[in-house]
Structure 1
């Protein structure tokens, strides 16, 4: 019997392929903008995921023990807000939530938001937001994102082309991020499902847990790597030899004792987007499954020190995966399950991209190494 239609159930990837940019922007209509500040006491930033002028259906799943969020109640599937236009991610912990006002102002000027009156300007932009802890990491506790910085990220998203590549590593909301013992940052990835529907993710990794398997020296999420169409490996990583792993462990030991400026408060934030027309309830399930992807690539995750939040988005313009082969005899929900399974894996892959793209940094608060300086 041909089992290719059950590939997602069997943990395989033979029917899946990487999107053109391997980015969340492979979902048509989704754009990303970053703005960051580093130096002179700064090490923080803002990222905006813009869903297009028509807006997107959205949901949220928050599981960390110390979340900092704004307007996530508006994403309740039973609420009045049907579509949103942007999600804001940033640094500054709870202080940074005020920065989302800059995104609101920029959307309002364009007449984008929840319509409350007869005039084009009579809108209330709903901007669900989440922030991570990076206070003082550049040396100045009061250097944190404000409305101007968030507005800068929005303008960058609006100025980008549809399908544009997304900058990764120590940028935007990931400027001051850490991934356990090394520097974190922004990562993105995408997958094209059978039938042509796309699932893409953007992750800001600022985790208390580690993204690296110390036994192998490879990221935990490396297991979910997909090949490019030409056969090239997605990450291109090779396990470090014993001597390199020992050097890494010795270096980490030297950095212990509280000198890492990134602990103990952390957060991993994510947006998972698709063009497949999921309902708000299905998007809520997708956001929940995305947390499984975090658990595959970060250990531990969802601790009291984390503020992990995932936003789900659907533009509703793409095709459902076909019910081919053995799937024809299965329940229609299996089409949704293919999207959910892909979502978990694409989050894990985006986390790896965040870590391998990050740069080391030295600030008045201390030195934070990167994955590549430690393990490659």
Structure 2
């Protein structure tokens, strides 16, 4: 197994990713959009956190009507930020993309939020339809940025700066599976008793380069500031295989295993952890063994995406970056 060309969600052919953020003048928040290929994509969802903020997730139940979605919106702003999806819908509708109904189309844009209210100084400085439209406009099949971008602009994880992370894997069969995570967790992203990022344990050979366990001095000195009372890690895991809605839901479920390997504790009463499973259907449906391989890889790519989010995040007052706190992890001076 190896990483895809960009080691990112966009390694799944047909997907486009766009980020938009506002930082300054009371804002520290943003929106990330995952756009489907022409014809849409099959989707499922798994919500494990006890405080989710979501939109149109009920449509993804295999018993319900809609078979394809046209975008996924991941955004800051807590429940206020769900309005960012309206901007994505408007852009899709203007392009004639959506579920056909009499008189036009209705774009299907399931969404999930993180809690980042007040992190720029102003409580109601949240994403709106304009920011959703900006993320749509920025969407590209080459977008592989990680860190304090898009929905991760105001993220915090266990007292450290959180953010957006992404990773991919190409299985020996040639199938691609990839994840994008917005890491904003109440729990710790560090191994218990150590300061190594838990998600790096699932890295592919050479993926995390010279990263090593930080010095005991740095680990012992780390005292995270109090975490906010509400958090949430959200994201997507996607493949180019043809899956049913139920199988996409299962893929989302195993991605939560990857989330729980990289963040401890996960799925708490103050997290709204939500993962969408996506299938672009560019490749044939898998046999049972192929589905099992996909699910195993899906958990690992989500863990790796969490680690990349933490390594790429930009530190700020009250939320230092991982490598600012633990410079010896890359051979820096303690």
TM-score, L = length of structure 2: 0.95
Question: Does residue 1:349 correspond to 2:304, yes or no?
Answer: yes
Q: 2:270 aligns with which of 293, 305, 309?
A: 305
Q: CA RMSD in A?
A: 1.3
Q: How does 1:65-214 map to 2 (within 5 A)?
A: 65-117=50-102, 122-157=104-139, 160=140, 162=141, 164-213=142-191
Counterpart in the other structure of 2:321: 370
> Secondary structure of the equivalent of 1:340?
helix
Q: How does 1:308-327 map to 2 (within 5 A)?
A: 308-318=273-283
User: Following the alignment from structure 1 to structure 2, what is the Cα–Cα distance between the partners of residues 55 and 235?
Assistant: 36
User: Following the alignment from structure 1 to structure 2, what is the Cα–Cα distance between the partners of residues 243 and 214?
Assistant: 16
Q: How does 1:182-331 map to 2 (within 5 A)?
A: 182-213=160-191, 215-227=193-205, 232-247=206-221, 249=222, 252=223, 256=225, 258=226, 262-318=227-283
1:181-227, CA deviations, whole angstroms, 9 ceiling, x for partnerless residues? Answer: 20110000000011211001000000000001253321111110102
How far is 1:235 from its partner?
A: 4.7
Long gaps (5+) in structure 2: 328-334
> Secondary structure of the equivalent of 1:202?
strand
Q: 2:24 aligns with which of 11, 29, 39?
A: 39
User: Following the alignment from structure 2 to structure 1, what is the Cα–Cα distance between the partners of residues 207 and 300?
Assistant: 16
> Secondary structure of the equivalent of 2:138?
helix
How far is 1:244 from its partner?
A: 2.4
Question: Does residue 1:333 correspond to 2:288, yes or no?
Answer: yes
User: Following the alignment from structure 2 to structure 1, what is the Cα–Cα distance between the partners of residues 55 and 24?
Assistant: 28
- The answer on whether the counterparts of 1:195 and 1:319 sit within 8 Å (CA) in structure 2 is no
How far is 1:246 from its partner?
A: 2.6
TM-score, L = length of structure 1: 0.84
Counterpart in the other structure of 1:8: none
- The answer on whether the counterparts of 1:19 and 1:190 sit within 8 Å (CA) in structure 2 is yes
Long gaps (5+) in structure 1: 1-15, 322-331
* Cα 1:220/1:289, change in 2 over 3 Å: same
- The answer on whether the counterparts of 1:197 and 1:320 sit within 8 Å (CA) in structure 2 is no
How far is 1:76 from its partner?
A: 1.1
User: Following the alignment from structure 1 to structure 2, what is the Cα–Cα distance between the partners of residues 126 and 205?
Assistant: 24
1:332-376, CA deviations, whole angstroms, 9 ceiling, x for partnerless residues? Answer: 4222111011000000000000001001112xxxx2111010112
**Greater CA deviation, 275-284 or 185-194?**
275-284
